[in-house]
DNA sequence: CCGTGATCATTC
DNA sequence: GAATGATCACGG
């Protein structure tokens, strides 16, 4: 068995994803003739790319939905103990030169998040990559409230960047959406605009969903622990 | 060369 | 510990 052909419908995609739920990453990789890295230091995208292959995603690195035919984006999300996301979720890079002229409804963020297949992946650091489990998938579109929250942050952040105030845009801004570096390293540069509209080289950045926002998405669909109070268990104690 | 797949690792 | 800023591999 090798990579799957693209699914023809959302139902088919969802069915495939459900079939993978409960498998270990080693089992998924074995079916694809893929080896499993011992750690992710030099393979940070390995989990996402493996699931893309297993589910028949087609877009590669192009600025298109992973499942082009369906307009669906695939996102694996690492979850720790308690099933809560342990990382933010990368959405897309920011087109520094023309973000000023774009609008929310036409933005990359809006397009990417219009339809997302979330696949939680068990990712306790202690657990070897091979033994991590694939979780139950969730096919999601933003609720009106979620869309409004995303738009609010996007308007703010894109507005700052578009007006050349990118230096003021740190990871601290945004309730649900944030901007963080997204490049080869801190020396990487892309063309952007300064406050006078002059082309200047800037650190490339991307939009990310805060883990708390993703947690809310998962919580709508799954019953996550933590809803019930777990008052002071282990509070104030250190390990070992 | 750039965007996508993300997680790492240093700083709060 | 959590969050921000930095980093790594790959495909087209």
User: Can you give the pLDDT of all 240 residues of chain A as single tens digits?
Assistant: 567 789 999 999 999 999 999 999 999 999 999 999 999 999 999 999 999 999 999 877 788 899 999 999 999 999 998 889 999 999 999 999 999 899 999 999 999 999 999 999 999 999 999 999 999 999 999 999 999 999 999 999 999 999 999 999 999 999 999 999 999 999 999 999 999 999 999 999 999 999 999 999 999 888 665 554 443 333 333 433
Mention every residue, 6+ apart, whose C-beta is less than 8 A from residue A216.
A146
Q: Which two tokens stand for residue A228?
A: 């019930």
Nucleotides of C under 7 A from a protein CB: 1, 3-12
Q: Whole-angstrom Cα distance, residue A183 to residue A168?
A: 18
Q: Whole-angstrom Cα distance, residue A192 to residue A185?
A: 17
Give the per-residue pLDDT at A68: 92
What is the pTM assigned to this prediction?
A: 0.93
In this structure, are strands A73-79 and A116-122 parallel, antiparallel, or unpaired? parallel
> For A225-230, which contacts have Cβ atoms below 8 Å and span 24 or more sequence positions?
A225/A82, A225/A83, A226/A82, A226/A84
Q: Which of A137, A140, A141, A169 is nearest to A156 (CA)?
A: A169
Distances (CA, A) of A233 to A153, A223, A236: 35, 21, 9
Task: Give nearest nucleotide to A123 (CA–C1').
Answer: B7
Task: Give residue numbers, 6 to 35 of A, with CB < 7 Å from strand B.
Answer: none
Residue–nucleotide distance: A43 CA to B1 C1' (Å): 21
Task: Give nearest nucleotide to A61 (CA–C1').
Answer: B4
Is A78's CB less than 7 Å from nucleic acid strand B? yes
């Amino acid at each position: 068995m090798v990579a799957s052909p693209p699914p023809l419908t959302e139902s088919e995609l969802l069915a495939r994803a459900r079939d993978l739920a409960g498998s270990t990453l080693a089992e998924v990789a074995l079916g694809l003739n893929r080896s499993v890295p011992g750690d992710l230091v030099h393979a940070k995208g390995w989990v996402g790319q493996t699931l893309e292959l297993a589910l028949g995603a087609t877009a590669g690195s192009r600025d298109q939905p992973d499942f082009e035919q369906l307009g669906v984006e695939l996102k694996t999300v690492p979850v720790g103990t308690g099933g809560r996301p342990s990382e933010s979720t990368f959405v897309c890079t920011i087109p520094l030169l023309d973000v000023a002229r774009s609008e929310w409804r036409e933005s990359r963020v809006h397009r990417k998040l219009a339809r997302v297949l979330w696949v939680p992946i068990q990712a306790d650091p202690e657990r070897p990559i091979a033994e991590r489990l694939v979780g139950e998938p969730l096919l999601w579109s933003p609720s009106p409230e979620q869309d409004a929250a995303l738009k609010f942050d996007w308007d703010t952040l894109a507005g700052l960047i578009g007006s050349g105030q990118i230096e003021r845009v740190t990871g601290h801004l945004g309730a649900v959406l944030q901007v963080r570096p997204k490049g080869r390293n801190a020396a990487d540069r892309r063309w952007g605009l300064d406050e006078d509209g002059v082309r200047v080289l800037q650190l490339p950045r991307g939009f990310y969903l805060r883990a708390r926002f993703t947690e809310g998405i998962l919580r709508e669909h799954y019953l996550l622990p933590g809803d019930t109070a777990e008052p002071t268990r282990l509070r104030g104690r250190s390990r070992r």
